[in-house]
Each structure stands twice: as structure tokens, then as C-alpha cells.
A and B are shown apart, each in its own frame.
Chain A
Amino acid sequence: MSLLKIDSLTQRFGGLQAVSEFSVDMQGGELMGLIGPNGAGKTTIFNLISGFYQPTEGTITFDGKPTAGLKPHQVTSMGIARTFQNIRLWHDMTVLDNIRIAQHYRLGYTVLDSIIRGKKYRAREARILEIAEELLEAMSLTEVANEFPKNLPYGLQRRVEIARAMSIRPKLLLLDEPAAGLNSKDVEELITLVKGIHDRFDITIFMIEHQMKVVTSLCQWIKVIDFGSTIAEGTPEDIQSNPAVIKAYLGDDNI
């Protein structure tokens, strides 16, 4: 059964067609890339999967269940986690808190419990803390657990954001331009990190990215879109030599 099946997804904002008949079928375990020039509709597709917009046409099915009409937090609790192009961490809370809050959908206790703090609360909070600390350890973030993200270098912040997304224990991880704003050393670390996550946690990753180095090192399969529709797909080698792709990025030779 496919993990993520998108069928003829179309999104119109008034007169603007942002996404046209986008389809993809991910079985699980893949590391797929989504590339295209600026404004091609990539983030819109992610926003549609996340549940921020409802598609004008087409369906999105995750793990056999349709996501139509679900709110973002419900989509997330199905097992889809996501990072953003501009890092959206909570800067006035510690890294540890950032990670813990991501487990909100499976807290396992009610408001009343949080006030009375009986056995159930304490057990659940201990478990939440345990999961968070394990994750920090796995992503080499234990030293900065009590720091505030705004005080961390950008590359580390990105790592925290990915760790936070992983705290959801997702089956599908959506990465929106994870390498944006990183210097070359951080990019290397990012590639290692994403590869490590993919192998260790056996999850599916769908990634938007502009930096070709990242795309070619990580992705097994790439979809290219422009003006909302798919113009090419294939392995990194196929894509790099595909004339339609080159035209989309670099423009036409014929004036």
C-alpha cells in the first residue's frame, strides 16, 4: 500500500493556478526530491499536504486515509511532520521544550491532570522527557538542550528544527529547503544528518531543495515542477541532463 498518494492535485487561488494535476505515489522508505524554479508551486504542494489549504481538485491520501478536510494538527498526528523554509522555532523556549511540545498530540493526559499531577501525569511527562532526550542524543544536540534557539548558530537551529519534526515520530518527513541559508560546512553536516535519519529511523522523506549538491547526494528520485505542473521526473542523473529542466531553470536559447 502506498504511504503518500497524491492524485491530480490542483490548486487555484482566484484566477491563479498554483498547482496543476500534480501526482505522486510514494511507497515508503524513499528519499524523494521536489525541485523547480522559484514560484513553481513547491511550497504550495507542501502546504496542501500539511492541511493548510484544501485542494481545489484532486486527492491526497496518506497511509490509506484521505486527508481532505483535516486540520494541520490532525494531519500531523497521522504521521506527517514538516520543517519550514525560514526556521520557525519557538525562540523564547529552550531547545528541550521545543522538542517536547511537538509531542502534544500524544500527551496522554488532560488539563485537570496537569494541575493535579497524579501518577498518570508524572508517568506521561517522564516518558515525554525520555523520548525528547533520546532524540537530542541521536541528533547530537544534548549540549544545547537548555539553550534558546535564538542564541544558536543557524546550522544548529536547522538541526533543532529537524529534531523537533522527528519528535512527532513521523512516517513521512517533509523538508522545505533545509539547506537554505547554510554555509558549505553546514550543508555537508545537513547531508550527513538527513542520510543518517533516513537510515536509522526508516522513514520516508520528501524534500524541496534548490541546492543541487544536496539534491543529488540525497535523493533517489526527483520530481521537477514549473508553473505548478510536473515537467520531468527521474533519477538525479536523468534530471541533470533533461533539456526541459535546463530550460525551466536557465531559460531558452532562442530569443
Chain B
Amino acid sequence: MQKYSFNILIAFAAVVLLTLAQYRILDNYIQAVIMFGGINIMMSTSLNLVNGNMGEFTCGHAAFMCVGAYVASILSVVCFGTKFGDPLLPAAASYFVFPVIILIGGFMAALSSILVALPSFKTRDDYLAIITIAVNYMVISAIENMDWVGGSRGFQGMKDTVWAMVDSTPSWLAGENDFPWVLLYVILFTIFDIWVIRRFITSTYGKGVNAVCQDETAAEIMSVNTNKIKTVNFMISAGLAGCAGGLFAHVIGYVNPQSFNILKSTEAMVMVYLGGMGSLSGAVISAVVFTFLLEILRSQALVDFLLAPATFVFPDWEPSAGVIKWVMIPLLLVLIMQFRPEGIMGNKELSDVFPKLKKYYTFK
């Protein structure tokens, strides 16, 4: 019983969140923050597989989110939207087809990661960094040239799917307000993401990833098929990022290629290095902290307060919170690199720092 107590706790928390959302106790804004938090967790944990556990240096993670987002969006609109003609499927099917759509987006992202996995066989570090940056730009550029999905103007219509889910909610589930389907699925997928990564990484198969990271030659000689494991690792990482991208598209209801440029990749990197390379709990914690930080820095009042001395000297200057945010976040990471480069958790997990937790769930 004790072994499952953690799982029960998570399930309970999820139900509480959903109920609060359903009855509008948590307003739309808080719901959106929670959803972005979940998506950030997926982004950072999936990148952590490659940049942390495998020790590669990739800088283009947003490319996979982009692939997942667009594939999921197109499928979504084809099935339940009106942009490409009549909806293919009835609205009643929406809430169990939606996760399938997200998974297909993730799957396509996983396939596209082979583009990056292949070069990683021969190169590491700096060279791989360039390749991934180039792939990031290439994906964005390719989509900007595709007019049928809106090119650089972006693509929308995913809200139709969300309405389809809301409208066809069975009456015993729906109250007076719309059932928060997207929130539910974000929570489910976040849990799925953490579950998949944890299971992969703690198996002997997944430990091969750490072995390749620490000494690739030794791993090769000790019978680890390094090329295969790199490919598998990249595909899992990209697949989960693709799912995150698909969810992201449906939360906002609109995608455009520039939402997935090097800045988004940098966000993912900040989370991974803030949390500690290779630590799953670190990646989760830092994603939560980062989401929180982003919201706080959105407050113009706070920015005005922090920059009061400067605006005193230059009274004409009106710093905007949205821009200052992107000075503070990189600055934060620079300071982390200077004073605590191993991040919040280092390469340990929560159960290493709080051994008593091991009673409630096994981690390694």
C-alpha cells in the first residue's frame, strides 16, 4: 500500500485541480499557468534526456515541438475543424481522439529527430550544437515556406477541437461550466512524460545512456550499441517534446513558426541546466520554478520596482516587462553558471536528497 501512496497522491491532486477548474474557482489565467507549467515540465524533462543523461549539447529542441505542434494542429483541424472543409469526425469522438492526435504529433517529431540523431553518431559537443541550431532554423524556415499552413502568418483553428470536446461532454461530467478538457489532458500527458522517462532511464537499457555519456568508448566495448541507443534516446526525447508542442498549440489555439525558434530552445535549456543535468526531479522542479518566474516577471509593477534606480536617473526610459524578462532570465542562468553550475539538484534525484522518500516510491 505504501508503495502506491505516491501515485494515489498524484491522482488525488489531479482530481482536485480539475474540480477547482471546472467550478471556476481557479480562473482561466491560473489554469493557463498550470497548463504552461505542465508543458514546460515536458519540455525540460525531454531535453534533459539528451542534454543531461546523454551529455550531448543540443540547442534546437524547439524544432521537435514545432513538428509536433503543426502535425497535431493540422490533424486536429482536419478532424474537427472547418478550415479544410467539413470536419472528418463527429464531435462526440473528440475527447478520445484528441490524445491520439497529440501522440501522432509526438510520433512525427520522433521520426524527424533521426535528422539530428544521425549526425550525433560522428560528432559531439560544438559540432552537434551547430547541427541542432541549423535544424531548428531549417524546420522554421520550411514551415514559413508552406503557405497551405499559413506560412509565417501562423495557423489556427484548433479551438474548434476544444469546443467539440466541451460541447460533447456527457451531462454527468459537465457542470454548469465547460469541462477543462485541455487541462485534463495536459496533466495526463505530463504524468505520462515523467512516467515514460523514469521507466526508461532506470532500466538497464536506459542506464546505457548514462554509460555512453560518461565514457562512450567503454560503453561500446562493453556491448552497448551506441548508435542505436543514441537514436532511441533522441526519438523518445523528441517524441515527448512533440507531444508538448501539440498540447501547446491547443492551449493557445494558434501556432506560428517563430514561437519555436532559438528562444524557445533556450527556454528549454535554461530549465535543464537550472535543474541539473541528468536529474529528472531537477528538471521537473526547475520547470515549475521557471514557469513561476516567468509569471512573476510579467508584472510590470515588479519590473518597475527592480529598475527604480535606473529609471530615476533616466526618467524618460519606460522598460517593458516583456523585454526585461529576457534580460533577467539569461542573467539568472549566467549567475547559476558562475556560482552553482550543477543546478538545483546536481545529478541527484529527490530520493537521494531526502532518503525517507524512498519508502513511498522507488526511484532508482
Interface residues in chain A, defined as those with a beta carbon under 8 Å from any beta carbon in chain B:
50, 52, 71-73, 76-77, 81-82, 84, 88-93, 97, 100-105, 107, 109, 111, 114-115, 117, 121, 125, 128, 164-165, 167-168
Contacts and interface: CB of A to CB of B under 8 A. Distances in A.
Contact of A164 (B206, B207, B222, B347): B222
Given A88-B215, A90-B215, A115-B200, A107 B205 contact: yes
Query: In this complex, which of B196, B217, B218, B226 has the most chain A Cβ atoms within 10 angstroms of its Cβ?
Result: B218
B207 A73 contact: no
Contacts of B226: 73
A111 B232 contact: yes
Interface in B226-244: 226, 232, 236
A76 B221 contact: yes
Interface residues of B, number: 27
B42 to A, nearest CB: 16
A72 B212 CA distance: 14
A105 B224 CA distance: 6
Nearest to B196: A115
A111 B220 contact: no
Interface string B58-72: 000000000000000
Interface of B: 195-196, 199-200, 203-208, 210-211, 214-215, 217-226, 232, 236, 347
Given A90-B215, A93-B210, A93-B211, A101 B222 contact: yes
Given A100-B204, A114-B200, A115-B200, A90 B211 contact: yes
Contacts, number: 89
Query: In this complex, which of A73, A91, A100, A128 has the most chain B Cβ atoms within 10 angstroms of its Cβ?
Result: A73
A145 to B, nearest CB: 14
Contacts of A52: 217
Contacts of B223: 73, 76-77, 102-105, 168
B210 A100 contact: no
Given A90-B215, A92-B210, A93-B207, A101 B200 contact: no
Nearest to A94: B364
Given A73-B220, A90-B218, A117-B199, A101 B232 contact: no
